[in-house]
Structure 1
Amino acid sequence: MELALTGKTAVVTGASRGIGLAVVEALADEGVQVLGAARTVTPELAKHAAVTVPADLSTREGATSVVDTALAELGGIDILVNNVGGGDADKMTLGGVLDIGDQQWRQMFDLNLFSAVWTTRAALPSLLDRRGAVVTVSSINSRLPAAGPVGYSEAKAALTAFGKRLSEEYGPRGLRVNTVSPGVVGSSLWRGENGFGAKVAAASGVDHQEFLAAIPQQFGMASPRITEPAEVAALVTFLASEAAGNILGSDFVIDGGTVKTA
């Protein structure tokens, strides 16, 4: 399939690893000039991105600095991929609503919601001028409110709603906005020895690798395996392209059949 992305420009947040890095690689392979932003610029990101920016996207200043750099270095923005999210596993507390303080709520919303709000607002003038595309990476947690650490599902639900609002407001002006909602993905969040998956496994008193192997069955997935970052990246790349020219305001689930509702 011809995606006609050669010569386009893109900003990808949370680009140093996992889904973000896979998106950078996929877009670059299609001829896109990519600016990758992350708190830490990894060698892998530096290898595939045309421009890299170390930034804390959980702050307004960090988010706007990324867009300012993109405008200066790339000359404009055709594609924005709001991917940054998750949370710092070392600072994340597992438990119920009464166990979690205000700081975790704020951190979850700053990273998983407001990072996208700030980045998108800064990039909108260029995106509208170029009749571009926004693809936001949310999560199936937006549909499963009791899943994950407190604050995460709530922030992702708001993030998905933000994409709907953007599409309604700016779709008539030529901007395409869509959301991708992955389930468990084989990134460092789940597979890393210090990631969220390892923390849940330890709290459950099971071996990390055994925990990962059991996820498809425990989560009631139709697929016998979890999703890989490159599979999410392929969907993001398609939605960013003209091949998806009349797809607006949609939320695409890629979760191996975890969510059972239509």
Structure 2
Amino acid sequence: MDLQLSGKVAVVTGASKGIGLAVTRTLLAEGARVVAASRKSGAGLDELAGDGLVHVPVDLMDPEAPGRVVARAVEEFGGLDILVNNAGGPPPGVRLPRFSFLAPTDEDWREMFEFNLFSVVRAVRAAIPAMLRRGGGAIVNVSSGSARQPAPMNVDYNAAKAGLHNLGKALSEEFGPQGIRVNTVSPGPVRTAWWTEEGGAADIIAAQAGTDRDTVMDSVAPEMMKLTTGRLVDPQEVADVIALLVSPRSGSTTGADVAVDAGFFKAV
């Protein structure tokens, strides 16, 4: 299916690995031009180098960074059609999960909201004028199934992502009539560096459960989170949904929250 993305200009945050890298690869394959934002590049992003890709090294905890990324897209490619706010999860230097509401400090809460909510607010604020000059656009905010599934774990992260859901709905109402569609994608646990890297979630849970990292990802985490499919989500599965949502083929989809969560969220 042709997603009609050829020639479109996209900004993807958190683009050097995981979901962001999969989104960047998919959009490039569909003919879009991509400005990829991340603190540093990586082997996967370097492999995609070409005329249609620009990497902008930024720390999105810097309030000025989202605006610089959008400005670079306009400078390099003449405008902006697509914004994928994928960057999120543990702020730099933070390890999750935290197992109690009492664990994060005030500073932890501030950092979590800066990275997972305020950076999105700033990116959208910068992107909307550029999109309006093109007659519209599409924004996808990557949230989490945990935004709708309260639990005594990662409470600060879950709260920030819940705010992202509300933000997306509000943006879709205000800017939908002006041609800007805003949707949310809520992954479940995805097999990304958050889980797989040394000291990541799998190692932390393994230490609690008295097992090893691979066993956590292959069986303990799917069982603990009651995943219907019995496995963690693959990043490409999330990227495929995002690519469809930013496509003109989804022209009547706005204000939606799409779960790609292996059956994590059970409520009706």
TM-score for both structures, normalised by structure 2: 0.93
Determine if the alignment matches structure 1 residue 116 to structure 2 residue 116: no
2:67 is the counterpart of 1:61: no
Secondary structure (helix, strand or coil) at the match of 1:48 reads coil
SS at match of 2:35: strand
Query: How many aligned residue pairs are there?
Result: 262
Alpha-carbon distance change, 148 to 68 in structure 1, aligned in 2, over 3 angstroms? farther
Cα 1:89–1:210 change in 2 (3 A) is farther
Q: Structure 2 vs 1, CA of residues 197 and 128 (structure 1 numbering), >3 Å: closer, same or farther?
A: farther
In the aligned structure 2, how far is the partner of 1:226 from the partner of 1:79?
Answer: 27
Q: How does 1:163-178 map to 2 (within 5 A)?
A: 163-178=168-183
Q: Which amino acid is the alignment partner of residue 32 of structure 2?
A: V
Q: 1:74 to 1:239 in 2, by over 3 A?
A: same
- Structure 1 ranges of 4+ moved more than 4 A: none
TM-score of the two chains, using structure 1 as the length reference: 0.95
Does the CA contact (< 8 Å) of 1:46 and 1:52 recur in 2? Answer: no
Contact 2:95 2:199 in 1 (8 A): no
Q: Is the 8 A contact 1:105 1:150 kept in 2?
A: no
Which deviates more, 174-183 or 217-226? Answer: 217-226
Letter in structure 2 aligned against 1:22: A
Asked if 1:136 corresponds to 2:141, the answer is yes
Whole-angstrom CA distance in 1 between matches of 2:44 and 2:152: 31
AA matched with 1:51? V
Contact 1:89–1:196, Cα closer than 8 Å, also in 2 = no
Please list every run of 5 or more consecutive structure 2 residues that lacks an aligned counterpart in the other structure.
none
Residue identity opposite 2:88 in structure 1: G
1:190 correspondence with 2:195:
yes
Partner of 2:89: 86
Gaps of 5+ in 1: none
**1:97 match:** 101
Alpha-carbon RMSD: 1.5
Q: Percent identity?
A: 45
